[in-house]
Amino acid sequence: MEFKISKQLIAEIEQLIESGQDGQLETLLNDLHHADIAEILDELDVADATYIFKILDTDKTAEILLELDEETREDILEQLSPKEIAEELDALDTNDAVDIISELPQSIKEEVILELQDVEHAKDIVELLRYDEHTAGGLMHKELVKVNENWNVLTCVKEMRIQAENVTRVHSIYVVDDEDRLKGRLSLKDLLTTSTKTAIGDIYIRKLNSVKIDTEDVEVARIMQKYDLEAIPVVDEMGILVGRITIDDIVDVIKDEADKDYQLAAGITQDVEVGDSVLEMTKARLPWLLIGMVIELIASVVLKDNETAFKKYETLILFIPLLSATAGNIGVQASAIVVQGLANGSVKEFNRNYFSKEVTVSMISGIIISLLLLAYHSFMFGEYMVGIAISISMISVIMIAATLGTLVPLILNKYKIDPAIATGPFVTTTNDVVGIMLYFFIARTILSV
Amino acid sequence: MEFKISKQLIAEIEQLIESGQDGQLETLLNDLHHADIAEILDELDVADATYIFKILDTDKTAEILLELDEETREDILEQLSPKEIAEELDALDTNDAVDIISELPQSIKEEVILELQDVEHAKDIVELLRYDEHTAGGLMHKELVKVNENWNVLTCVKEMRIQAENVTRVHSIYVVDDEDRLKGRLSLKDLLTTSTKTAIGDIYIRKLNSVKIDTEDVEVARIMQKYDLEAIPVVDEMGILVGRITIDDIVDVIKDEADKDYQLAAGITQDVEVGDSVLEMTKARLPWLLIGMVIELIASVVLKDNETAFKKYETLILFIPLLSATAGNIGVQASAIVVQGLANGSVKEFNRNYFSKEVTVSMISGIIISLLLLAYHSFMFGEYMVGIAISISMISVIMIAATLGTLVPLILNKYKIDPAIATGPFVTTTNDVVGIMLYFFIARTILSV
């Protein structure tokens, strides 16, 4: 059923391009979905990709443009004149067009806008370009189907037929008053199931969720998920219907959010992908490595200060990696649960019940690990007091790590910093240092060094 | 616009329940969205929640049931008779009903099924219960709108009005032949924009994606995202249309996948939430801590073997935390990029270009870090040879970590193990041990200890 790209197919296509058999090329490609053609173009070199791009008609290429990898898209657009780019954009939904325009260099951007043929469309694009991409305004399409509360089903359907021409997916129909203020919605289902004489005023649903133009994208995603919406209308300060956000735009927001958390946890600042340049990758990663380094240099100082202790009881040293790793692991576990809780709304602020639960969990883990460690140490080295010292410091370090792991994300969140950072290198390495300090402090007290 | 739950509201509701003012309670609640009522019930104690549950009518409570936290749902269902539960399920879409049934204890499950009134609905539910929840069959609804290829638009619309009654969202209309084999789809838009006399055969779109009943849920999600679909039909081995998956079901799959990766990276095996019991949490977390512990015990052995080295050059010890942390961080970074690449399909197998890129990135980072370290060491301790030894081992450890970080997820993936494990405790702690070994090996060779 589904298309699979193959080396042979690529070879065949390159062959057809070389021998300039545009006819065959077209017939071959026109059978494919634009997402699949995009996949092919990503595999070809710029020249070939542009060649194909130019023989296909605009409706298709415009859609392809959206599916291409960023680099391939840039490469191809560089080969096109502002006029040619404008033609592509004329064939796209407003917010898709905006996504592409905003990737263009400023100078070209303006030329392209001037070249846009459909004036209404151009106006909409210029309007959308004004909004921050991380707000409802940046996510919304201008394309939607709206009807006046004073019409009846028949007029409504007639009007919709016209409007629907420019709308990829109708979803629900919005009902507005004469000033275009959003009053409610009309479900397609209702429309299918009521007689044509009925007045819209009698059948439309007055209660519906909408978002303000400046609502944050993640908030829009949360609302659409909570109320299980496939589209949500966007209104301006005066309650006038200005656009619509559909679930497929939200899917990306949700994925990006989740990916961002994962990357922060892995110590990667911006969204890097396999395709990115060495420079981009280094820029996204080196800072975290350096932060980690500086923090761990403190650890080296701490160790230096405790020389006397581990010179006297050298087994203390042997368990430093175990100590840091365990503290790190439990800290990250604790943070991860809170971070996800904050993300899905099940955690809002510090919660005593949850905290005591976390403390219990880490207490149990701590005791088990410490006892195992005590057994191991006694078996390997005898020196019971040292073993006890190590075990006790281990359990305390675990408790501290769990506590920090739980609190740090909450604190970060309170100060509007992404809590996912708590599962990243910065906090884990800090955990190391704190852990090592505590470890020696307790060990020395017990062994009175 | 959006509902915000408040302490006052809860108090008011508890008051109304106490004084048994069902009337006011109903009027108050009927204005609210079921997702909001669910939020309220989650806050109330079981008795109150069940009380409210019983005064609201089934259409509402059924929807509420879906939105409740798992615990609250369990608690309430325990208060209901199989007959009452069956009534709720009769009001739900098949796959929503199935989600709830599958949470019930086996014995009750069967009683409930017997109590279902709508036989067709019951049949569908029983059918869906057979499919693995992580396949298309487990995700799909039985509710959909299908028309016969031999009808015309008018008959089609008539039929649809009837069918649409049981379908929450119409999306596209599927076209089948007399044997119910899926032939294509009819977009609502087309239907709105063509005359009623047109024959379906002339306007329906023959090309459409569909998935097999046993397709994995993540694969379904990938296809729906790639082709930007809001619904996809599910067919059986004979190509017969058996159900439909809508984007809102897929949103959960996507979120769960992303969350799973994040949790594996954080060393949490099953999907734990803030609400889970101490036991569940410990079960999900302790194993990773113990694995980490065992691995780090090897590190302690390695350290023991190198006593002579760090007794002679004690500064070697001071940088062990720095070494492990850096190796860990760079390893996780490398893995995370590959893991996400595998997830979004941009990485499929070992790729020389990407690998050499990764090596370059870590080489650059390694050189910078080692030079800084060398400078620091020389400044603090003089002993240049030792500083050089440490720096050289550091850079080699970084290179190894980056290599393992890149390869491990690919290997795991090859053997059908979730590659996200590579960003978790197991691999990072292993990295530690390998790092420390290498560190001392190189240091000792250079310093000939």
The β-bridge relationship of strands A211-212 and A231-235 is parallel
| Cα–Cα distance for residue pair B271/A365, rounded to 1 Å | 18
Distance from CA of B20 to the nearest CA of A (A): 28
CATH superfamily of B7-139: MgtE N-terminal domain-like (1.25.60.10)
The class that CATH gives domain B278-447 is mainly alpha
Identify the pLDDT of residue A399.
Answer: 93
A residues 72-131 lying closer than 8 A (beta carbon) to B: none
B residues 179-218 lying closer than 8 A (beta carbon) to A: 188-189, 192-193, 209-212
Distance from CA of B448 to the nearest CA of A (A): 22
CB contact under 8 A, A223 and B2: yes
The β-bridge relationship of strands A182-186 and A173-176 is antiparallel
| Cα–Cα distance for residue pair B277/B94, rounded to 1 Å | 30
| Domains in chain B: boundaries | 7-139, 145-246, 278-447
What SS3 string covers B19-58? CCCHHHHHHHHHCCCHHHHHHHHHHCCHHHHHHHHHHCCH
The β-bridge relationship of strands A231-235 and A241-246 is antiparallel
| Cα–Cα distance for residue pair A264/B127, rounded to 1 Å | 43
Dump pLDDT digits (tens) for A379-419: 888 888 889 999 999 999 999 999 999 999 999 989 988 88
Identify the pLDDT of residue B398.
Answer: 92
Does the pLDDT at position A273 exceed 90? no
Dump pLDDT digits (tens) for B139-166: 998 888 889 999 888 888 888 878 777 6
Closest CB from B303, B322, B341 relative to A293:
B322
Identify the pLDDT of residue B2.
Answer: 60
Across A161-170, average pLDDT: 72
Residues of A in contact with B236 (CB under 8 A): none
CB contact under 8 A, B285 and A365: yes
Q: Is B226 on the interface with A (CB under 8 A)?
A: yes
Across A351-367, average pLDDT: 89
In sequence order, which residues have a C-beta less than 8 Å from that of residue B194 and are 6 or more positions away? B153, B203
DSSP one-letter code for A241: E
A residues 146-165 lying closer than 8 A (beta carbon) to B: 157, 160-161, 164-165
Does the pLDDT at position A1 exceed 60? no
Among B192, B298, B365, which would you mutate to test the A interface (most chain A Cβ atoms within 10 Å of its Cβ)?
B192
Region A145-246: CATH code: 3.10.580.10
Interface contacts A/B by beta carbons within 8 Å: 300
CB contact under 8 A, A282 and B361: yes
CB contact under 8 A, B192 and A332: no
State the average pLDDT for chain B. Answer: 87
CB contact under 8 A, B2 and A288: no
CB contact under 8 A, B340 and A251: no
What's phi and psi for B424, nearest 5 deg? -100, 180
Tokens of A290: 């350096």
Closest CB from A160, A227, A358 relative to B33:
A227
Identify the pLDDT of residue B312.
Answer: 87
Does the pLDDT at position B283 exceed 60? yes
Q: Is B223 on the interface with A (CB under 8 A)?
A: yes
Identify the pLDDT of residue A168.
Answer: 67
Among A99, A247, A260, A361, which would you mutate to test the B interface (most chain B Cβ atoms within 10 Å of its Cβ)?
A361
Calculate the alpha carbon distances from B429 to B136, B217, B341, B399, B411 in Å: 37, 32, 23, 16, 18
Q: Is B425 on the interface with A (CB under 8 A)?
A: yes
Across A319-344, average pLDDT: 88
CB atoms within 10 A of CB A4: 7
Residues of B in contact with A429 (CB under 8 A): 325, 329
Q: Is B436 on the interface with A (CB under 8 A)?
A: yes
- Looking at chain A, which residue has its C-alpha nearest residue B297? A322
pLDDT band, very low/low/confident/very high, at A196 (cuts 50, 70, 90): confident
| Cα–Cα distance for residue pair A335/A103, rounded to 1 Å | 36
Identify the pLDDT of residue B250.
Answer: 87
CB contact under 8 A, B251 and A248: no
Whether the model clears a pTM of 0.90, i.e. scores above it, the answer is no
Does the pLDDT at position B420 exceed 90? no
Does the pLDDT at position B270 exceed 80? no
Angle between helices A22-30 and A7-18 (to 10 degrees): 150
Nearest to B174 by CA among B94, B243, B230, B222: B243
pLDDT band, very low/low/confident/very high, at A2 (cuts 50, 70, 90): low
Across B263-287, average pLDDT: 83
Does the pLDDT at position B392 exceed 70? yes
Nearest to A132 by CA among A188, A213, A74, A59: A213
Dump pLDDT digits (tens) for B9-30: 899 999 999 998 888 888 888 8
In sequence order, which residues have a C-beta less than 8 Å from that of residue B202 and are 6 or more positions away? none
Q: b or e along A85-97 (b: 16 or more beta carbons within 10 Å of the residue's beta carbon)?
A: bbbbbbbbbbbbb
- Looking at chain A, which residue has its C-alpha nearest residue B367? A286
Residues of A in contact with B351 (CB under 8 A): 274
Q: Is B259 on the interface with A (CB under 8 A)?
A: yes
Q: DSSP letters along A395-443, please?
A: HHHHHHHHHHHHHHHHHHHHTTS-GGGGGSHHHHHHHHHHHHHHHHHHH
Across B220-244, average pLDDT: 91
Of B86-100, B263-277, B284-298, B384-398, minimum mean pLDDT range: B263-277
CB contact under 8 A, B337 and A282: no
What SS3 string covers chain B? CCCCCCHHHHHHHHHHHHCCCHHHHHHHHHCCCHHHHHHHHHHCCHHHHHHHHHHCCHHHHHHHHHHCCHHHHHHHHHHCCHHHHHHHHHCCCHHHHHHHHCCCCHHHHHHHHHHCCCHHHHHHHHHHHCCCCCEHHHHCECCCCEEECCCEHHHHHHHHHHHHCCCCCCCCEEEECCCCEEEEEECHHHHHHCCCCCEHHHHCECCCCCEECCCEHHHHHHHHHHCCCCEEEEECCCCEEEEEEEHHHHHHHHHHHHHHHHHHHCCCCCCCCCCCCHHHHHHHHHHHHHHHHHHHHHHHHHHHHCHHHHHHCCHHHHCHHHHHHHHHHHHHHHHHHHHHHHHHCCCCCCCHHHHHHHHHHHHHHHHHHHHHHHHHHHHHHCCHHHHHHHHHHHHHHHHHHHHHHHHHHHHHHHCCCCHHHHHCHHHHHHHHHHHHHHHHHHHHHHHCC
State the average pLDDT for chain A. Answer: 87
Closest CB from A1, A35, A318 relative to B300:
A318
Q: Is B231 on the interface with A (CB under 8 A)?
A: no
Residues of B in contact with A261 (CB under 8 A): 262
CB contact under 8 A, B303 and A289: no
Does the pLDDT at position A308 exceed 80? yes
Does the pLDDT at position B1 exceed 70? no
Helix (H, G, I), strand (E, B) or coil at A367: helix
Across B72-89, average pLDDT: 91
- CB < 8 Å & 24+ apart, contacts of B203-212: B203/B153, B204/B149, B204/B175, B208/B182, B208/B184, B208/B233, B209/A1, B209/A2, B210/A1, B210/B182, B210/B234, B210/B235, B211/A1, B211/B136, B211/B235, B211/B245, B212/A1, B212/B136, B212/B236, B212/B237
Q: Are B327 and B397 in contact (CB under 8 A)?
A: yes
Element holding A180 (H helix, E strand): none
Identify the pLDDT of residue A343.
Answer: 80
| Cα–Cα distance for residue pair B113/B106, rounded to 1 Å | 11
Q: Is B416 on the interface with A (CB under 8 A)?
A: no
Distance from CA of A385 to the nearest CA of B (A): 18
What number of CA atoms fall less than 13 Å from residue A143's CA on the CB side?
20
Element holding A182 (H helix, E strand): strand A182-186
Residues of A in contact with B263 (CB under 8 A): 336, 340
Dump pLDDT digits (tens) for A111-124: 999 999 888 889 99
A residues 316-335 lying closer than 8 A (beta carbon) to B: 317-322, 324-326, 328-330, 332-333, 335
Across A345-357, average pLDDT: 82
Q: What's the ipTM?
A: 0.76
Q: Is B371 on the interface with A (CB under 8 A)?
A: no
E strands in A218-277: 231-235, 241-246
Nearest to A399 by CA among A363, A356, A446, A436: A363
Helix (H, G, I), strand (E, B) or coil at A76: helix
Residues of B in contact with A212 (CB under 8 A): 1
| Cα–Cα distance for residue pair B92/B90, rounded to 1 Å | 6
CB contact under 8 A, B164 and A192: yes
Of A76-90, A246-260, B426-440, minimum mean pLDDT range: A246-260
Share of chain A above pLDDT 70, in %: 98
Dump pLDDT digits (tens) for B374-384: 999 888 888 88
Closest CB from B167, B255, B299 relative to A321:
B299
Dump pLDDT digits (tens) for B123-140: 999 999 999 989 999 999
